[in-house]
Structure 1
Amino acid sequence: MVLIIGGDALAASRAYASLEADAAVVVLVRGGSPALCDELQWRARQGQVSVLDWDALSSDSRVDNACALEGTSAPGIETELDLERDITSLDGYLSRTPVSLVCVTGTLSLSHSSRIRSLAPHIARICRAHRIPVNVADMPALCDFYFASTHRFVDPTTGAKSSMQLGVTANGEGCRLASRIRREAVAALPKEVGGAVIRIGQLRRLAREHEREAEGCGVIEETNGSDLDIEGANGDAEDTSVNTPNQPVPIRRADDSESIAEAVRRRMRWVAQVSEYWSISQLSVLTEPEMRAVLSGSIGLPSVGQHNHGERSPSQSLPPLQTSQHGLQPILSSVPSKKQGRILLVGSGPGHPSLLTLATHSALTKHADLILSDKLVPSAVLELIPRHVELRIARKFPGNADGAQTEMMEAAVEAARRGLTVVRLKQGDPIVYGRAGEEVLYFRSHGFEPLVVPGVSSALAAPTFAGIPVTQRGVAETFIVCTGVGRQGKEVRLPGYERPRTLLILMGVARLSEVVGALLGYSPLDTASISKDDSKREGRRDGSPYPPNLPIAIIERGSMPDQRVLVSTLENVCTALESLGAQRPPGMIVVGWAVLALHGHGDVRVLEEGEGSDEERVKQWLGGRRWNVTEGISEGWSVL
């Protein structure tokens, strides 16, 4: 329950915010309902809020006796005895009533609110004595919390309120500005946000329905609960402390058996993937059959008996063509049957739409009949696709990457045989860790020679957006690009340390501790002792170990408006990344002295000065801190 002390327009705003959070609201004001503003009077008549008069509160008998002895004050004149009576009455009310929050209004104007302002310090003291958080308008020193300017999203298709709320607060330093920022943030978000949250909630419940069945059958008791520790330390649930939806998992095949617990874990991982990578508009129109198809994992998973000659096994079938995410069903029958189908392997660049090549833009907007997109291609690029073009997004969820890859290749061949122009859309450059090579060979073996359209590789573009040159005279003479994970999740060997070289690691942020451990030769989170796994870490590196004070950058969603860049040293970066909370895939890692080369006034004498100056160099770069974080990209990109 929320207790609001005051009956003015601000009290009405506080009541509205509390009601939006599904809280019960009691308004305490001297004079009762007639003293309320029009909005609160209307809410009281509708039964949305309860109204309590100060004079109706039960006061301490000793105060009542004192009032009788001292007499009654003149009308309109507040005495110290009146204040003491009100304070004692409120204390008694809070002692017998379960109140969660107290909000005090009517303190904005000294000329009209001297009584409530006089009471405010006492109200705050009483609330803290009862361990009830209190907010006093325009008196931040008395506040335990601040109200955010909030907006609750609705499902545009039904008008139903969703559980999604957006709140912005300036912590008492600029309420009007916070409201403006909230309005602009809401305007910038897709209108389907509310519907998307409702559908994801339904998807989560479907993912867990077998868990509830197991509980009903006593499976959890038989396993002592350990087998169904869905939200345990393994990070298998969607909302655990694990900060990446790309946590490595074993590759799963269609004929693999799995327990109820394993099935729930897999589904919850896939819920996290859908939440992270699918467009808001696509999520908002998910139907229950589509949700069940996503969670089943039966589509696109290769069976053991499947041949690699393009023939689909009887147990597998291509899913029916889905409605375009843009709202129109593609009219396939209008495509001439004699038209020669073709396949384009296209790179979409790092993410910013202005970095699309002319060839890629033309392929997406003028030539494509069907677009098969990787999940990492951002919505800003997908929004360029005409509404009549069908779009499918790869279901490359943890444990299903190979199955999803096969599904997309089969879909491309099937559509090309029907005379369609198929665009296989990949992030960055399709040849740089984009598995384009195997797709070229697959399509060629099925009679289609694909056209490969290069894209701007995120390996080079993302560091540029972060202000990091991969090469710089006097700092970095060469660079090497590698991956942080091998085929089917296996470990890869990383190159050894060379001072004039920049190391670029793609797909390694979700495995940062393993990557950094391999570079250092020991666990970055346990430097006090030598672990028995240190020899294994040494075996993951070819060459010399990297110095612990070497600069490293984690670049997330490079080139996008919500880009985040974390810079630190190898010895501190794991702790730094963990402190940031949820990760923002896709991300990449830059290791080497080039990370600090263009910071501030620049430092381009790394190779000339040698290792003796490294400690002071790093200290000046980080300003004495262990890490720094920057958000967003240059405003100059908004006009391009």
Structure 2
Amino acid sequence: ARAFAALESGAAVLVFAPAGQDSICDELKWRAAQGQLELRVLGDNEDEHDALERVFASSAPRLVCVTDTLRTLEHARSKSSAEWIKRLCARLGVPLNVADMPELCDFTFLATHRAGTHVQLGVTTNGHGCRLAGRIKRELVAALPRDADRAVQNVSRLRVLSKAQGPLEDDEAEAEGVAADVNAPVPQRNAVQETDVDAAKRRMRWIAQVSEYWPIPKLAALTESDMVSLLSDPAPTLQPVSGTVHDFAPAHGRIYLVGSGPGHPGLLTRAAHSLLTSSSTHAVLSDKLVPQSIISLIPPHIELHIARKFPGNADNAQAELLNTAIDLLQRGKTVVRLKQGDPALFGRAGEEVLALRAAGFPPVLVPGVSAALAAPLLASPAIPVTQRGVADALAVCTGVGRGGKGASVPGYERSRTTCVLMAAARVGALCEAMLAPECSRRSGDAYPPHLPVALIERASMRDQRVMCTTLQDLEEAMVALGEQRPPGMLVVGWSVLCLDGEGDTTVLDCVESSEILEIDVQRVQKWLGGIRWKVVEGLDAAWDSL
């Protein structure tokens, strides 16, 4: 297996067999006969150590693997012999791997699986459980979408098509076009003022967005015309519809504005589930943030459209989606407009209601479970947005202002929890607005720097992540956390710590105390346990059965 993996990577392979030709498997003999690798055996009366010294001198190996130490072999190499090889490799500066002897290894091998020509998985236990690594690999492979390789091929083709339309001038410009944070705020697009370089960067950002958000089966099913359409830069406006509501026959289509909840299928309402799986539903127009776990419920007979709400293109994508909806409705179709969370909580439901009503198709609104309330409860430990003795009010705001600008935040009130949706990519601006002594984007008092906060990413999903810290350390903690996992929301206030450990529901008891600052600082230090931030990965396993 070591030889085959090395050959597959393009390396030159030399197999040294001190036990002679009989110890070599037929496959290796055949490959040697075909000139794919070189075989050397120990000659008569030849000392193995001398022979190895000569092999090393003549071949100058980059890596050495010792496989005849496996304890299952009848004549396994002794540990003292393996230690001699270890000293030889160390003297020559050659990394070594010894089977079944992790203490002698300079590196370990991955248990690998190649899914097609573009996707390869690798798992390692760093020498502490090779058999288990193989099992973990098998379980990951079983969970891998069958069409993942095709999805990668299509994304690669998208990149080729994008560069053909107007390649970026250098790698640095391309890197700028594909920022590490695919949700970094950018100005709304203006097709008239967009330069060729701007357009090229926009296309690369769009490809990063579909790679992050679109379901794997959707990516795998893309045709060449789909790709060309995806990369095109229409700036549609909502098409006027002649007539009034009363001019349309009742037999015309019907549209439902549906909230899909935070992402876990168990948090879908019965009404939402029924609409998504109904044989009478013809099309689903989905926001990009609705996760695969929800999208996969949609039967294949239902037409699926995913909004191209990429950075800087939200307004254009909104008009494009509404035009698609109206076209379907005029043909008598039943349409589900699928939104994450609740459609009316920063979901642009109001403007869609007005536009659809003006077109003659008043929608039916189906409420959904909002992440503003659900995500904090899914943290571990749970965060209640209101709690007697801690918080008796709740403010919900967005981290995104109109036109992609910074949003305003409410001022600090000790007894209030503030939930900021769509916050992860705008933490810097939010911290500035909350902490600055004076700020035009804050209506009220500044927030105390030691105030507890929780950043909750991918709430209700298996890769949920919750990071708890203080407002003053939030930006630094975000950098330490690494790559973001959108969508993310921020919970700010004393409710963040109130159910941790033994709990603390006395926050409002000492409001009038002259020592309140000292008490609060001690409260926060106890909560964080002497560290500046703490992270909890994953969703409670109990949700797997819900």
Aligned to 2:417: 502
Kept after mapping to 1: 8 A contact 2:262/2:374: yes
Distance 1:512 1:601 in 2: 30
TM-score with structure 2 setting the length = 0.91
Q: 1:112 to 1:407 in 2, by over 3 A?
A: same
The residue identity in structure 1 corresponding to 2:102 is P
Aligned to 1:381: 294
Q: 1:539 to 1:338 in 2, by over 3 A?
A: closer
TM-score with structure 1 setting the length = 0.78
The number of residues matched between the two structures is: 532
Kept after mapping to 2: 8 A contact 1:135/1:145: yes
Match of 1:190 among 145, 148, 164: 145
Q: 1:119 to 1:93 in 2, by over 3 A?
A: farther
Distance 1:50 1:111 in 2: 23
Aligned to 1:199: 154
Aligned to 1:456: 369
Q: 1:364 to 1:41 in 2, by over 3 A?
A: same
Q: 1:338 to 1:518 in 2, by over 3 A?
A: closer
Pairing 1:309–2:240 present: yes
Distance 2:529 2:5 in 1: 41
Kept after mapping to 2: 8 A contact 1:247/1:398: yes
Match of 2:355 among 442, 460, 464: 442
Pairing 1:289–2:225 present: yes
The residue identity in structure 2 corresponding to 1:613 is I
Pairing 1:585–2:486 present: yes
The answer to which of 165-174 and 614-623 deviates more is 614-623
Match of 1:345 among 257, 260, 282: 257
Aligned to 2:24: 36
1:500 to partner: Cα distance: 1.7
Pairing 1:567–2:468 present: yes
Q: 1:468 to 1:52 in 2, by over 3 A?
A: farther
Kept after mapping to 2: 8 A contact 1:87/1:119: no
Distance 1:289 1:111 in 2: 57
Kept after mapping to 2: 8 A contact 1:91/1:126: no
Kept after mapping to 2: 8 A contact 1:106/1:116: no
Distance 2:43 2:530 in 1: 59
Distance 1:400 1:39 in 2: 56
Q: Secondary structure at the match of 2:173?
A: coil
Q: Deviation per CA, 1:495-553: give whole Å up to 9, x if none.
A: 122222111111110111221222222xxxxxxxxxxxx96xx3322222222222211
Aligned to 2:245: none
Kept after mapping to 2: 8 A contact 1:310/1:410: no
Kept after mapping to 1: 8 A contact 2:453/2:492: yes
Distance 1:103 1:575 in 2: 42
Aligned to 1:483: 398
Q: Deviation per CA, 1:246-274: give whole Å up to 9, x if none.
A: 11112113333312x32221111111101
Q: 1:635 to 1:134 in 2, by over 3 A?
A: same
1:406 to partner: Cα distance: 0.4
1:109 to partner: Cα distance: 2.5
Q: 1:436 to 1:47 in 2, by over 3 A?
A: farther
Kept after mapping to 1: 8 A contact 2:470/2:533: yes
The answer to which of 375-384 and 45-54 deviates more is 45-54
Distance 2:484 2:140 in 1: 21
Distance 2:288 2:21 in 1: 56
1:624 to partner: Cα distance: 2.0
1:48 to partner: Cα distance: 4.2
Distance 1:110 1:633 in 2: 41
Q: Secondary structure at the match of 2:418?
A: strand
Aligned to 1:317: none
Distance 2:26 2:216 in 1: 39
Q: Secondary structure at the match of 1:230?
A: helix
Q: 1:290 to 1:23 in 2, by over 3 A?
A: farther
Pairing 1:257–2:194 present: yes
Match of 2:86 among 100, 124, 149: 124
Aligned to 1:270: 206
Distance 1:90 1:499 in 2: 74
Pairing 1:632–2:544 present: no
Q: 1:33 to 1:282 in 2, by over 3 A?
A: farther
1:42 to partner: Cα distance: 4.3
Pairing 1:180–2:135 present: yes
Kept after mapping to 2: 8 A contact 1:20/1:152: no
User: Which aligned pairs between 1:523-534 and structure 2 lie closer than 5 A?
Assistant: none
Q: Secondary structure at the match of 2:107?
A: coil
Q: 1:129 to 1:484 in 2, by over 3 A?
A: farther
Distance 1:187 1:443 in 2: 43
Distance 2:411 2:75 in 1: 71
Aligned to 1:324: none
User: Which aligned pairs between 1:314-463 and structure 2 lie closer than 5 A?
Assistant: 339-366=251-278, 367-463=280-376
Q: 1:177 to 1:564 in 2, by over 3 A?
A: same
Q: List alignment gaps of at least 5 residues for structure 2.
A: 243-248, 511-515
1:395 to partner: Cα distance: 0.9
Match of 1:148 among 86, 110, 113: 110
Distance 1:128 1:256 in 2: 61
The residue identity in structure 1 corresponding to 2:160 is R
Q: Secondary structure at the match of 1:392?
A: strand
Pairing 1:248–2:185 present: yes
Q: Percent identity?
A: 51
User: Which aligned pairs between 1:30-109 and structure 2 lie closer than 5 A?
Assistant: 30=18, 33-45=21-33, 47-53=35-41, 82=47, 84-86=49-51, 88-93=53-58, 97=60, 99-109=61-71
Q: Secondary structure at the match of 1:504?
A: strand
The residue identity in structure 2 corresponding to 1:469 is P
The residue identity in structure 1 corresponding to 2:53 is T
The residue identity in structure 1 corresponding to 2:290 is V
- RMSD in angstroms over aligned alpha carbons? 2.5
The residue identity in structure 2 corresponding to 1:229 is E
Pairing 1:230–2:186 present: no
Q: Secondary structure at the match of 2:177?
A: coil
1:236 to partner: Cα distance: 2.3
Aligned to 2:513: none
